[in-house]
Structure 1
Amino acid sequence: MIDFRYHLVSIVAIFLALAVGIVLGATLLQEPAMRSAEELTRQLTADKQEQRGQIDELQGRAQANDSFVTTLTPKLVEGELAGQQVLLVEAPGASAAYREEEQEVLADAGAVVTGRLSLTEKYFDPKSAGVLDGLVNQLKPAEMTFAASATAHDKAAALLAASVTTTDQAQAGTANEATGAVLSGLETGGFLNIDGDPSKRATLAVVFASEIPFEGEGAPAQAAAFTSLAGGLDAGGMGAVVTGAAATSAAPGGGITALRDDADLVKRVSTVDSADLPAGRVVIVYALREQLSGGAGQYGTGPGVTAFQPVEPTPTPSPTSTESGS
């Protein structure tokens, strides 16, 4: 019979063979595996350093380009908007930095900024639409009528535009008699805040879109309120440009995206999604100039653009006299 000692020896032999196999296998495979891992690490490190160098080079080039454009901006926009009154309008969440930088460029272009309207979240809140509608009907002049299909925000945009913008250059910079009551009423109602003197009617408007996308159940209504605002200001004056950054305002849910998705408005209202770039701030001026001539376009680097900037208008040749020979 096979006794216990035989079983014990057999078990020990099996485990010993297994241990020897593991040791031999690890020893044979360790060196190639380590070499492969070390080579992969060296390659990844080299790739990372190369990409870091490329990023640093691109950032340096971008900074140099921005510095160059910033230095030349006064010359690039000089006289482009001479004699024009410009109203600044901010959606809640718009960048104050973009607005302040653009205001300087507008001054370089010869424009006068009449004032600023900062719309509140309440203005865009669908739950406040009924209150806004009632207030607009209360504040509007008796002779002002609205289309039967007009929404509360369509009406509010039309009333605002009639109060702070004009298509008549002779009226630019002068106050509409009804403007004070309209603006103070909407401000008291919590729908906007006022800075400067927007009651002095402007010929052009620059609307700064929010850097925060419209999200959630109320997003479609909020986007519609924003496009109504831009369309109303465009119709009330000699043109409007909506601006922001491509990564935010021209992204899904952004105000610029909402406007570019509107087949009617893109024919009338211009957008510039490069307000975060010195070159983009120049493009805003050029887009306003184009609006004055009756044109419109979608400019920048984001989805839906037609070009980075408007086409330079062709100078009208001066007439030349011809001498008749005998």
Structure 2
Amino acid sequence: MIDFRYHLVSIIAVFLALTVGLVLGTTMLQDPLLNTLQSETADLRGQSEELRAERDDSELLNTGADQFTDAVAADVLEERLLDREVVLVAAPGADEEVVQALGGRVEEAGGSVAGRVLFEESFLDSGSSTFVDELALQVAADPGDLSGNPYDKAGTALGHALAVPDEEGLEESAETEDAEATEGRDRDNDDTEADGEADTGATDAPDTGHDASAVLSAFSEGGLLTVEGSPAASADALIVVAPASNAPEEDAERVNTALSSLTAALHRQVGPTVLAGGTDSGRPGGLVALARDQEPSHATVDVVGRSTGNVVAVLALADSLDGSGSAYGIGEGVVGFLPDPLPGPVETAETEADAEAEAVAESGNEDEARRRAPRSGE
């Protein structure tokens, strides 16, 4: 039978063994362990200092690049958007300073800011999608042309309201209505000739029945956006400014899909369009990154917010005037930091007329040169 003394001796032996192990471990391993920890700490401290120095150098280089950009921007952008009316579209959460800076660059490029459309947070609320859908159908010039999700429909209706009316289409419509009016008058004259009645008819330009300002007002009164300036029926081109920060992860896909659909629909209606955001927007989970995954026909830029990036955005818009746009910046899928080659100045009809008149003048026919020269106001 095992008595109490046996248990006592066993317990004492265990504690003695632990004590001896601790003493031996601390005396034999202390120096090597401390040396290793100290060495690793020193390495990490050195890496931290190097990274801090690289960060400081990068900031100085970025500041210098912005200063250089400010110095040469007027020459780089000169006449790239000559006589173009640009509407700035700000997504909910877009940086106000970035929107203003982009407007300034547009003016440096010879363009004009026709107005700004600033979307409210309520536009993207999950509970507002039905209202957005119904409102788009109510104000659209042709509701049958609307398709897709509510933001596709809203973008189509708003884009139609922002875009400069198609003059060729209006002329064709006017000719058609004039022809119909003439035919109607002829029939009426035949019917009323015995009575000696005459029908003069109407020869004014056709009434399309679509009030662009009313469309914007409807969305504004619905609390979905704010309109500044006079963007209705004025836009030759658009710059859509992405939110300053990405949406929360749980809501990012829905929000980015909505804004991407809106931008694509605006582009289809207006034409030259740039979706511009900061570097965060070009990373996974950002609006620009999602738009690029869908391979849009409009341009995208992911470096706005600094002088250099804002100039890139305007160059991208100028590059889009003759066709579809590409992806610029530093994110995945870009074709380059900026368009290469750079877009040239816009050639206006007046410039072409001047060149033709100059060529005729050189041939010695001064009267013909004066006849070909553009008159004031043409």
Q: Same fold (TM over 0.5)?
A: yes
CA contact (8 A) 2:94 2:242 kept: yes
Residues 1-326 of structure 1 aligned to structure 2 (within 5 Å): 22-23=22-23, 26-141=26-141, 144-147=142-145, 149-166=147-164, 178-199=211-232, 201-214=234-247, 220-247=253-280, 249-263=281-295, 266=296, 268-312=297-341
For residues 229-264 of structure 1, give each alpha carbon's deviation from its aligned partner in whole angstroms, at most 9, with x where no partner exists.
Answer: 2122222223111010121x223333212321224x
Superposed displacement of residue 311, structure 1: 2.0
Deviation of 1:149 (Å): 4.0
Q: Find the residue that maps to 2:118 and give its secondary structure.
A: strand
Alpha-carbon offset, residue 291 of structure 1: 1.3
CA RMSD of aligned residues (A): 3.5
Counterparts of 1:129 and 1:240, CA distance in 2: 24
SS at match of 2:282: coil
Q: CA deviation at 1:105?
A: 1.1
For 1:214 and 1:47, locate their aligned partners in 2 and report how far apart those are by CA, in whole Å: 33
CA distance in 1, matches of 2:8, 2:156: 98
Q: 1:52 to 1:150 in 2, by over 3 A?
A: closer
Does the CA contact (< 8 Å) of 2:164 and 2:233 recur in 1? no
Tell me the matched-pair count: 304
User: What is the alpha-carbon distance in structure 2 between the residues aligned to residue 310 and residue 206 of structure 1?
Assistant: 16
Distance change >3 Å, CA 168–CA 108, structure 1 → 2? farther
TM-score normalized with structure 1 length = 0.79
TM-score (norm 2): 0.69
Structure-2 change in CA distance of 1:254 and 1:48 (3 Å):
closer
Q: Deviations over 1:192-234 (max 9, x none)?
A: 1111221251100000112344557765554343223212222
Please state how far the C-alpha of 1:93 moved relative to its aligned partner. 1.3
1-structure distance, mates of 2:247, 2:8: 75
Q: 1:48 to 1:11 in 2, by over 3 A?
A: same
Give the deviation of 1:40 after TM superposition.
3.3
Measure how far apart 1:51 and its partner are: 2.9
Question: Can you give the 5+ residue segments of structure 2 that lack an aligned partner in the other structure?
Answer: 170-207, 348-354, 360-378
Distance 1:48 1:270 in 2: 38
Q: Aligned equivalents of 2:227 and 2:14: distance in 1?
A: 89
Query: Structure 1: which 5+ runs fail to align?
Result: 322-326
How many angstroms does 1:113 deviate by? 0.3
User: Of the two, which has the highest radius of gyration?
Assistant: 2
For 1:15 and 1:257, the matched residues in 2 are separated by: 63
* Identity value in percent: 32
